[in-house]
A and B are shown apart, each in its own frame.
Chain A
Amino acid sequence: MSPQIALHDPVFRAYFVVVLVSLVAGGGVLAFVRFILKRETASMFKTYWSWVLMAGIGLIVVFLGRVPTIVGVTLLAVFAFKEFARASGLYRDWRMTGAVYAGIVTVGAASLISHPRGEEPGTGWYGFFVAMPVFAIALILLIPILQNRARGELQRMSLAIVGFIYMGWMFGHLGFLANARNAYGFVCFIIFATALCDVAAFAFGKIFGHHPLRTEISPNKTWEGALGAFCVAMILPWVLRFSFPFFETRDLILTGLIVGIGGQLGDLSISVIKRDIGTKDMAATIPGHGGILDRIDSLIYAAPLFMHMAGYYHPLR
């Protein structure tokens, strides 16, 4: 991955067009609702402009190459964890938060460097990357011992471990995907597919939604929205088959399941956390979306599953 390769890569160029077309189509639909149906769309337009901005930033970062992509994912993970820490109160414990930050940065470093003995450069250190939770959890468990403290430590340790594993390591898989031989296809597909599914769930829920999906977790989500998003996710791998021409039918079905079910489970699992903490959004970073964590929630769940599925059937390198 580098700007020169991206310019000539058919997959990246195709995604550039796909994203552009989707944004224009989305804008067109919103304009139709606003000017023809005369409905109130101010909040939807706010969300839409944030989508445009995010798509632009995402395309530029992926275009710039492997290192910017991994650094970008690591930064997103850092800020996503920061939101989690601020919402859960963990941010008051600087040593715990510092340990998790250090762990997240190390995950990024493991994706960047290559194995010290042999192997080609620019492939990431897979073994270390996969073993990272061991070292990070060891560090987190060490902190109360060093401070000679026990009261309330189980809660802090648990929050720190969830924060690291979920926002740091699982999301870090997206960065590691940039090391794959088919990096453009994998990275662009998983980001685009989860984003489109989120929009589909929202749109189907808005139009057809009647039956609540999980009343205790996220009262606004409906079965209709979830099924609509699932259908979109099942069709998408075939539509975007150029992203991974070597995928067989079995792989395409698995990809659809991971995006369609995994993505929505990610959404719901962040909702569980938010509901327990008692906040509506994790933060107010992105206008119309909430926090960074509210935006990347489905990627967190889907990206690692997708990477390990793809890597199992077709080695990443």
Chain B
Amino acid sequence: MKKWRYDSAPDLDQAPLDRLRRFPREPDMLVYGLRSICALIIRGLLRIYNRFEVTGHENLRTNRSLVIVANHCSHLDTLCLLAALPLGKLHRAFPVAASDYFFQRVPRLWAAAVLVNALPFGRHSRTRKSLTICRELLANPGTILIIFPEGTRSTTGEINEFKSGIGALVAGQDVAVVPCLIEGSFRAWPKGKRLPRPGKLRLIIGRPRSYRSRTADKVELITITNELREAVIALGKGGTRSPSALRKKMRLRRLT
């Protein structure tokens, strides 16, 4: 009789917590199931508690790899962006999270690795390696990276300068870059508060952009980074009206 080949998991000898820290994580049916159930609950809670609404859903409909770029002032931002994705793409979506903040202590590590499927990103060290991991993921069509290029949560609600790493990631790559603006998350759950408040949340998804023809030299990177920041800011001013605002307008018109 020929010997059977056993295709053991490569992280077999690692303790459960170390398994959560490593990336890419091995697919795990129980984790995927738990994540899907929690995603459904979070979606429901956001709808009810924060009256969450999305504009520009159609901009996410693609089978290509996506880089979602958004402003960041609250943990709710990640949840909002994940809630806007189709449930089937949940396990291919990786919010890029600071490894020094999310991948050290247990509760945060568990939430980051199991609930939102975060990618550990070295903010202060090993940044280049983290970018390489991101690029390798994007080479696989259907991957979604969620990036907050400000690098941390804004403490004022304003959009801070973007870090140029985002330019380095997308320059010359065949990926769709989708700028997104999240409104209301600063009021609902600012940095330093324990629990979110029931403030209204709005997500505006912009049109996908491509930086395939751009080179990756230093000047270009900064230009791309600034362009992306402008694109995110423009979503707030631009003519995209939310469904509820439209309804309010119609009601006003009927009254006058």
Chain A interface residues (CB < 8 Å from chain B): 78, 82, 86-89, 91-92, 94, 97-98, 101, 155, 276-285, 287
Contact = CB atoms under 8 A, between A and B. Distances in A.
B12 interface: yes
Contacts of A155: 4
B29 A98 contact: yes
B15 A285 contact: yes
Given A87-B6, A287-B15, 6 more contacts: A87-B8, A89-B7, A91-B29, A276-B6, A279-B13, A284-B16
Given A86-B9, A86-B12, A279-B12, A91 B28 contact: yes
B195 interface: no
Interface string B1-44: 00011111100111110000000001111100000000000000
Contacts of A284: 12-16
A82 B30 contact: yes
B19 to A, nearest CB: 9
Contacts of B29: 91, 94, 97-98, 101
Interface in B68-83: none
Given A91-B28, A94-B29, A98-B29, A283 B8 contact: no
B28 A277 contact: no
Contacts of B8: 86-89, 277-279
Contacts of B16: 284-285
Contacts of B15: 284-285, 287
A78 B30 CA distance: 10
Residue of A82, A88, A94, A284 ringed by the most chain B CB atoms within 10 A: A284
Interface of B: 4-9, 12-16, 26-30
Contacts, number: 53
A88 B8 CA distance: 5
B10 to A, nearest CB: 10
Given A91-B28, A94-B29, A97-B29, A278 B12 contact: no
Contacts of B13: 279-281, 283-284
Looking at chain A's contact residues, the main secondary structure is helix
A178 to B, nearest CB: 24
Given A280-B13, A284-B13, A89 B6 contact: yes
B28 to A, nearest CB: 7
28 contacts: A86-B9, A86-B12, A87-B8, A87-B9, A87-B12, A88-B8, A89-B6, A89-B7, A89-B9, A91-B28, A91-B29, A92-B7, A92-B27, A94-B29, A98-B29, A101-B30, A276-B6, A277-B6, A277-B8, A279-B8, A279-B13, A280-B13, A284-B13, A284-B14, A284-B15, A284-B16, A285-B15, A285-B16
B12 A283 contact: yes
Contacts of B12: 86-87, 279, 282-284
Given A284-B13, A285-B15, A278 B6 contact: yes
Contacts of B6: 87-89, 276-278
A275 B16 CA distance: 22
Residue of B6, B15, B27 ringed by the most chain A CB atoms within 10 A: B6
Contacts of A89: 5-9
A282 B14 CA distance: 10
Contacts of A279: 8, 12-13
A214 B26 CA distance: 34
Contacts of A277: 6, 8
A282 to B, nearest CB: 8
Residue of A89, A281, A282 ringed by the most chain B CB atoms within 10 A: A89
A277 B5 CA distance: 8
Contacts of B9: 86-87, 89, 91
Contacts of B27: 91-92
Nearest to B14: A284
Contacts of A282: 12
A82 to B, nearest CB: 7
A279 to B, nearest CB: 6
Contacts of A285: 15-16
A278 B5 CA distance: 10
A287 B18 CA distance: 13
A284 B27 CA distance: 18
Nearest to B10: A86
B171 to A, nearest CB: 36
Contacts of A91: 9, 26-29
A281 B27 CA distance: 20
Contacts of A101: 29-30
